[in-house]
Structure formats: structure tokens, C-alpha cells
């Protein structure tokens, strides 16, 4: 046999080895985050709460003034429609009760 016919054996990369590698990487990230979290837990809990709240509020995407007015208008219109429907149902049921009991 010649050297050309001999194939070098490639290391087999299977799904399990890829999964194990991904698992180790995930564990490393969790451990790194855990160390950071332990560091954050020092200090006054009330001050920490307000600092975290402030940082979370900075992440909020606030709606524009125009969008707020539009949504408020939609809510008002829906409220009026529901009020009219409930008034009609109440009036109709009152009339039925009066017919049934003859007052």
C-alpha cells in the first residue's frame, strides 16, 4: 500500500462532544455572572434597589407624546361605546323585569 491510500484518522466530532463543549461554556458564563452578582450584593439594599430601578427605567422605551394622546383617545372612545352598550342592556333588562312582574 502506498502512503496516499492511508488516510489520517480525523478526530470524530459528535453531537455529544459539541453539547458538552456548549454546556461547559454556559457553565462558565453562569459562574462568571454569579461572581458578579455576589459582588453587587454588597452595600445598603435600599440604595441598591433604587440604583437598579433607575438603571431599569433607563432601558424603557417611552412612547411619544403623539402616541400617548392617540392611545388615550382610543381608550376614551371604547369606554363611551361600552357605556352605551351597558346602558342599553340595563334598560332592556329593566323593561323585561317590569313586564315580567307587572309593576
pLDDT, one tens digit per residue, over 2-15 is 555 555 666 566 66
pTM, whole model, 2 decimals? Answer: 0.46
Q: What's the sign of the alpha-carbon dihedral 75, 80, 84, 87? A: positive
54 with 42, same domain: the answer is yes
Is 34 domain-assigned? yes
C-alpha cell at 43: 452595600
103 with 77, same domain: the answer is yes
- Total number of domains constituting the chain: 2
Residue 54, burial from CB neighbour count under 10 angstroms (0-12, 13-18, 19+): exposed
Is 5 domain-assigned? no
54 with 34, same domain: the answer is yes
Is 75 domain-assigned? yes
Question: What confidence score (pLDDT) does residue 83 get?
Answer: 98
Average pLDDT value for the chain = 82
Give the residue numbers spanning the domain of 87: 63-103
42 with 18, same domain: the answer is yes
pLDDT (mean) for 75-101: 96
Q: How confident is the model at residue 35 (pLDDT cuts 50, 70, 90)?
A: low
> Is the model's pLDDT at 36 over the cut of 90?
no
Amino acid at each position: 500500500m502506498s502512503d496516499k491510500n492511508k488516510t489520517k484518522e480525523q478526530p470524530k466530532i459528535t453531537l455529544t462532544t459539541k453539547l458538552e463543549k456548549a454546556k461547559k461554556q454556559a457553565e462558565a458564563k453562569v459562574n462568571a455572572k454569579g461572581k458578579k452578582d455576589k459582588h453587587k450584593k454588597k452595600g445598603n439594599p435600599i440604595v441598591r434597589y433604587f440604583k437598579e430601578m433607575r438603571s431599569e427605567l433607563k432601558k424603557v422605551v417611552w412612547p411619544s407624546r403623539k402616541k400617548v394622546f392617540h392611545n388615550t383617545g382610543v381608550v376614551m372612545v371604547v369606554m363611551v361605546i361600552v357605556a352605551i352598550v351597558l346602558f342599553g342592556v340595563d334598560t332592556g333588562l329593566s323593561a323585561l323585569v317590569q313586564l315580567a312582574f307587572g309593576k
